Amino acid sequence: MKALSQRRRHPLAALALLLMALLFTGSLYAAASSANQAQAQTTTASEDEVEEGNKLFVANCASCHGIGATGSDAAPSLVGVGAASVDFQVGTGRMPMQMDGPQAQAKPVQFTDEQVGQLAAYVASLGAGPAIPSEEITDASQGDPAHGGELFRVNCAMCHNAAAAGGALTRGKYAPGLADVSEKHIYEAMVTGPQNMPVFNDANVTPEDKQDIIAFLKTIEEQGSPGGADLGSLGPVSEGLFIWVAGLGVIIAFTVWLTSRSS
């Protein structure tokens, strides 16, 4: 026991313990990084797709994002953004941008689905990042709309409005309405964080929770506005303004009618 106690008090014992802790921490980090990379790259692209994507990128994107997508003063680097980011930005027409502004606006898509996939494959080859989600995880019919509504109100409604109608942000920016947005693009927006949107990775919102949010959005989209005109789904402000203006108009019209009758 005395010899064991002496060895524990050896001057190098603390250093050995520190090295063991660093080795253990490094091993855990390496394992986690490998798992995340394997999870991000769920699909593999052929060399032909990557090559064609490179050609499309040089012809349409390199003027801003630079050769090799390393970025420039006009646009950020795309190394490590993943295929999902490209599929969302290009697949919704936000890229290439039509003009400079506070944020890229959705517009008609300029590429075919095949070309979008090729661009996504090329950017994905530059570094690990979120992959294009599968049809299974974006299937709204498999989600729980009630649970998705709770998650949406906690994480998304402060920008996108409780009815997903969108809303204004600062400095000319805005959160777009989510009606008529495909399930795939909704999922991709959550995992890539386009424009001013934060990234909701799987540690924050699980894939199943994302599916529930998609189910909620598609449910309210299908239901429409059962109460009549939604007035932009902006809540009591627009409704109160409408009632005030309409009510005041009725009062004025009635007053004019009364005075015309008395004369």
Cα(136)–Cα(117) distance, integer angstroms? 18
| Binding site listing for heme c | 61, 64-65, 156, 159-160
Cα(146)–Cα(249) distance, integer angstroms? 40
Cα(17)–Cα(12) distance, integer angstroms? 9
Cα(21)–Cα(29) distance, integer angstroms? 12
| Binding site listing | 61, 64-65, 156, 159-160
Residue 142: closest CA among 228, 216, 244, 82: 216
Q: To 5 degrees, how large is the angle CA 62–CA 67–CA 71?
A: 80
Cα(263)–Cα(255) distance, integer angstroms? 13
